[in-house]
Chain A
Amino acid sequence: MADSIIQIEKLDKTYKGGHQALKNVDLEIKRGEIFALLGPNGAGKTTLIGIICGLVRPTSGTVIADGHDIAKDFRKARSAIGLVPQELATDMFTTVWATIEFSRGLFGKAPNKKHLEKVLRDLSLWDKKDNKIATLSGGMKRRVLIAKALAHEPTILFLDEPTAGVDVELRREMWEMVRRLRESGVTIILTTHYIEEAEEMADRIGVINKGEIILVEDKHDLMRKLGQTQVTIVLKEPLTSLPHQLLTWPVTLSEDGTTLHLALKGESDDTEADATGLIKALAALNIDFKSVDMSRSSLEDIFVSLVAGDNQ
């Protein structure tokens, strides 16, 4: 069994107005993984992160972070956690260097110039260290927030919508950085709207909707179970019926006999092999075609179908 770094049990949160943001949430995060928490707006992602980090008070339930109860042993639990919030909340008038020194001290660590220098260099912020935060671009401010979260050498890093409003290039850079962090042993939990991001980076994916965790699964398993490849082959000459040699594939012929549809489940590597197999079979049967079109369902489609199913 993989060592778990966060254990959440029976977590409930009802806000003062009566809105129930989390309903009986159980969740386990494994040490060293990248976990992506997906969910529509208002699903409870930020509330869940807020509780683990100490910003939101749970109504009931327990959270253990790196072996420490977040309520009873809050100092040790919080020392292990770094949080990069969704909002670009920074102290505008201080310099980059001053703000990360502040963060390190706040989390109870003695000054360590070497570590802070490394953090800034890794985030390409070293040459900006003496700049006031107010003078930095949005993308740089986001990186400053990450630097602040890493200043005290946490073992768990929360990234709440890390690439919201970040351009494509910077997003790639950030993904690279997250991978490097994971290699250095940090467990990463990120929330995102961008399915692409989860698909690209996550080891496991959790889906939250209306305060309930509706699914937690290994990314590859999820793709295998729910991923689909649609292959559409437009034929030169219409067929009257499907040749029996093709019946081994899940293939259907359109009514006018001009188009073949193939729906394949599983991950892209397997389905591509299936699709090329079909094309080879067509060639062997001397059936000529005009075009082949392949489309893959993304995590987004999976996610939408999950959430839509849940909403019915």
Chain B
Amino acid sequence: MNWHAIRVIYAHELGRSIRTLFQSLATPVISTSLYFIVFGSAIGSQMGDVGGVSYGAFIIPGLVMLTLLTESTSNASFGIYLPRFTGTIYEVLSAPVSVLEVLAGYVGAAATKSVVLGCVILATARLFVPYEIVHPWATAGFLVLISVTFSLFGFVLGVWADGFEKLQAVPMLILSPLAFLGGTFYSIKMLPEAWQTVTLFNPVVYLVNGFRWAFYGQADVNVWISLGMTLVFLAVCLAIVAWIFKTGYRLRT
């Protein structure tokens, strides 16, 4: 194992976030606050409890998930796309590092940033809504698992993308809609039955519900199914990354 390589890649990537610390933290804090003001206070005050918790508290796991998905993906994708774009990737490709070390560095740093953001959002949410977490360990586990999974997904995206517009398009055009339609702001039980079935094909439903279970001890989907689906997605991303390094896809000619 080339531990030094993991150390420097990880530090280099986190350094990138620290240089832009203000934007990195301010953006999610502001947008989460806006969601709480609009959905939590303005609309939420008109709504009854959902699944035994107030609407404001109900949307917290979904909001955290929304940020985790988009931030992990865009962070990790930029992390690997940028050196590809500037040409500095040559150094990583010529270094005595294996897939595992490259991933641990790049994906580890992106996931770390996401976990920190998730915690910041949870703290921000506390200012608006009093909430209790039923399963703190499971919450932490899901937070880390989903950050890692979507950072891996971002890594794949960053290797695949051949332009900045694609990097932005995927989080904006695919992840955000999936997150919004995945029960972030509502329980899927509120939908007509036909739409409930359609929703079950949205992978984000499982992530949000797994996280919500960890928070409040109940959700629309069984927690084990949620966990299973998350692990399946993680495995798919890992398989694609393994394939990328095996074939050299878009990295080595």
**A residues near B, CB below 8 A?**
15-16, 50, 53-57, 74-79, 81, 83, 85, 87, 89-94, 98, 101-110, 148
Contacts and interface: CB of A to CB of B under 8 A. Distances in A.
Interface of B: 2, 4-5, 7-9, 12, 15-16, 19, 83, 86-88, 90-98, 248, 252-253
10 contacts: A54-B93, A57-B248, A75-B2, A78-B94, A79-B96, A90-B86, A90-B88, A93-B19, A106-B91, A109-B4
B94 A54 contact: yes
Nearest to B89: A89
B2 A55 contact: no
B92 A106 contact: yes
Contact of A110 (B4, B90, B98): B4
A80 to B, nearest CB: 9
B49 to A, nearest CB: 49
**Chain B binding surface SS class:** helix
A55 B5 contact: no
Contacts of B8: 101-102, 104-106
A107 B5 contact: yes
B15 A91 contact: no
Nearest to B97: A106
Nearest to B4: A105
Given A85-B87, A106-B91, 16 more contacts: A53-B94, A55-B252, A57-B252, A75-B98, A76-B96, A77-B96, A78-B96, A90-B88, A91-B12, A94-B12, A94-B15, A102-B8, A106-B4, A107-B96, A108-B4, A108-B96
A293 B4 CA distance: 61
Contacts of B7: 105
Contacts of B93: 54-55
A102 B7 CA distance: 9
A107 B5 CA distance: 6
A122 B86 CA distance: 27
A74 B96 contact: yes
A219 B19 CA distance: 50
B253 A15 contact: yes
A103 B95 CA distance: 9
